[in-house]
Amino acid sequence: MKVSFNELQAVSRKAFMGIGFSEGHAEDAADMVTWMESYDLHGLDALNKGLEHLIADNPATLPTIVYQDGDVAVVNGQDLSVLRSCNLALELAFAKGRARGLSVIKIQRCRQRQLIMGYLARLAGRGMNLTAFWRNAQQPLTEQVVGFRANSTVPSIRVYSVEEVPEENEPNNGITIIMANHVDLLPTMRSDYRYDLLAKHEEADLLAARERAMTNGIEVDDVVWEQLHKLAQATLVESFDVSHLGAGPAD
């Protein structure tokens, strides 16, 4: 079915509140999902794949700062979805980038990393150049780089598979973000190793997708839509006698 941008944003926000997000985090998470969906970057698919886990997350668990100095921060994402854990970590990096010209943040142990793009777009809109990198632990190994130019809300995205990489045993379910006040950080493929480019999203294609979404609406899966509505129900109060008074004047 087709829904509007505003509708998707509103229902997602209520759904996130329904599963225990605070209001501000629910707003941010809804914006992140809807932003991706409006650029045809499959935000709802990404949400849906991790939805069960997201619902099961303990809302009281907070990401923690493992290390920080003026330029660098390492944050433990506590195996939470980026929807729960990343907005403030990214704001921390943003503050450092502003102060020092360039900052690096590693968010360890986080899920649904794809969805981080929506918040990166927001920071880029505030005048920050940035690039995010993460690696998916699958065969073949794939890497994803997402870059935003300052004041542009449209990313440049590269997804590629690599084969000839040194062995490593450390789990890598984190994400690394570099922010720079004045330097363009858009990804350009240049490697001595063999790689296969799996996806390349150019600005023009993304803008066209956005235009389509605003003109024709956003196609969403009926089941996912239903699920979001169901989760949103938890924010609503059952009807009772007195509540009818608010529904309008007596007829």
Partner 1 sequence: MIDLASPAALATPVTRAPGLVMDLERLGSFNATRLSFARTLIRVMGRQRWQISCDLFDLNTHGHGEVIYRVQTPNGRYHVVIFSQPLDDALRSDRVIADAWDITFGLVEGDVEEALMQSLAENIPLQEAGRQHPRLLVISRANKSVRNFETVVTDLATGVQPSLESFTEGGYLYRTTAVYGNGKFGIADYGRLRTNPDFRHPFSAQMTAVYVLRQFSIDQVEFLARSRAPETAIALAQPLKRYLGIGNSTGLGMAPFLINHPQLIDQWVHAREQALAIAKSQPPDELARDRLLILGRRAQQFFKETTVEDADQQGRNQMVVAELEGIIDWLEQIPLDLDLWQQLTDWAEAALSLESQELINGLLIELYPQYVDFLEDAMAVEERMELTPDMPLVQLKQLIETHFDWALAEDFDTPEASHWFWYRSIEKEEPRLGVRGIDPGAEKELSLAVAPRVKRTYGKISEYLEQNPRSLTVEFLMAEPSFVDIVRRIQTMAATAYGEIRANLWHRDMRPIHLLRTKLSFLGANRFDPRGDRWVRVTFFQGAPLIEELNNEPADLTAFDDWSFPLAPTSLKQQETYESLL
199 belongs to the binding site for partner 1 (CB under 8 A): no
d(CA 216, CA 151): 26
For partner 1, give the closer residue by CB, 189 or 234: 234
Instruction: Return the residue of 87, 129, 142, 144 that touches partner 1, per CB under 8 A.
Output: 87
d(CA 206, CA 152): 12
129 belongs to the binding site for partner 1 (CB under 8 A): no
DSSP structure class, residue 101: S
| Total of residues contacting partner 1 (CB under 8 A) | 49
Instruction: Return the residue of 12, 28, 54, 113 that touches partner 1, per CB under 8 A.
Output: 28
Torsion of CA 220, 226, 231, 235, to 10 degrees: 100
Q: Which stretch binds partner 1 (CB under 8 A): 21-29, 110-118, 130-138, 150-158?
A: 21-29
For partner 1, give the closer residue by CB, 63 or 147: 63
d(CA 211, CA 178): 29
For partner 1, give the closer residue by CB, 83 or 145: 83
Instruction: Return the residue of 69, 190, 193, 240 that touches partner 1, per CB under 8 A.
Output: 240
Minimum CB separation from partner 1 for residue 209, in Å? 14
29-68: contacts with partner 1 (CB under 8 A)? 62-63, 65
133 belongs to the binding site for partner 1 (CB under 8 A): no
251 belongs to the binding site for partner 1 (CB under 8 A): yes
106 belongs to the binding site for partner 1 (CB under 8 A): no
Q: Which of 93, 61, 92, 91 is nearest to 77 (CA)?
A: 61
State how far the alpha carbon of 20 is from the alpha carbons of 25, 40, 121, in Å. 10, 27, 25
Within a 10 A sphere around the Cβ of 251, how many other Cβ atoms?
3
Q: Which residue has the tokens 């941010």?
A: 28
Instruction: Return the residue of 44, 47, 91, 221 that touches partner 1, per CB under 8 A.
Output: 91
State how far the alpha carbon of 10 is from the alpha carbons of 4, 15, 23, 214, in Å. 10, 9, 12, 16
200-229: contacts with partner 1 (CB under 8 A)? 214-217
For partner 1, give the closer residue by CB, 204 or 245: 245
Q: Determine the length of the chain.
A: 251
Q: Which of 95, 151, 154 is nearest to 126 (CA)?
A: 151
Minimum CB separation from partner 1 for residue 6, in Å? 3
Residues 6+ apart with CB under 8 A from 244: none
Q: Which of 64, 60, 12, 73 is nearest to 38 (CA)?
A: 12
- Residues making contact with partner 1 (CB under 8 A): 1-7, 22-25, 27-28, 62-63, 65, 87-89, 91-92, 94-95, 98-99, 122, 125-126, 214-217, 233-240, 242-249, 251
